[in-house]
Amino acid sequence: MSLQLVRYVLMAAMRDRMVWGIVAISVLGVCLSVFSGSAAVIEQDQFVITYLAGGLRLLSLIGLALFVVFYVRRSYDARDIEFLLTRPVSRGQFVTAHGVAFSLLAIFTGVFLALILAGFSFQFGYKDGFPLWALGVTFEYILVVNVAFFFAMVLSSPVTAGLATLGFYVLSRMTGELLSIAQSPQIEGGGQAFLALSVVMKVVSVIIPRFDLMAETSWLIYGGVDFHNWIFVIVQAVVFLALVLSATAIDLKRRQF
């Protein structure tokens, strides 16, 4: 891994004002959450935390994914990738360094989000499930930015790569609902086509990470999360992260510049 290349990516993030964009989005999300929560007749504190956690989680994720996609495609168009590969850096090191740099940006965003939410959670007295929720969201960001890196390297259109990343995120968040549908009696009695789709969905749920189990907003209000039940989700996420980075490295090694 090249530390100079990691520094190069982080400097690009500073140049594109990505960090300040995350801060601006977070401030806007806080204002909207407090305003929306104040309209609730009862349980205003719970509404504020729920809106804040869900809104900032999604807005920050979209910002990270868009930065990664447009950074990679801009590097292709400006031939920065070809120039960097002429340096004493292998293609595997190139992918690893970018994965580390994007992951550092994801960790920064996750910590910043956790600090904002900690102020509200501890003020309102909801702190039992907060640490594990913050850790789960940070893992989620790390996975999404590396998936965005993979799609941006493979797909030539930034719009297509961005939509593919968001589609992956939506599928990962809906895996629980899709599995419950796949195991319903109506599917089992619906014929061979429905049974085949059910099997496909179960296979997909083993491969892709379970974002619906990684960080649930209900943890912030009710707590009750057990680390031992949650560790499987993290192991699955680490395996998937290694798979995505390996696929990105293989695709880059097969390219002819």
CB 151, CB 164: distance < 8 Å: yes
pLDDT by 10-residue block (mean), the chain, 257 residues:
78 81 80 70 72 82 90 82 74 85 90 83 70 85 92 88 90 78 63 67 76 78 69 80 88 73
Residue identified by tokens 């998937």 is: 240
219 lies in which domain range? 3-254
The encoded tokens of residue 165 equal: 């990343």
Look up the pTM and report it.
0.86
Domain count, the chain: 1
pLDDT, tens digit, 9 for 90 and up, residues 29-73: 777 777 776 666 666 777 777 778 888 888 888 889 988 998 888
Quote the CA–CA distance of 55 and 256 in Å, as a whole number: 42
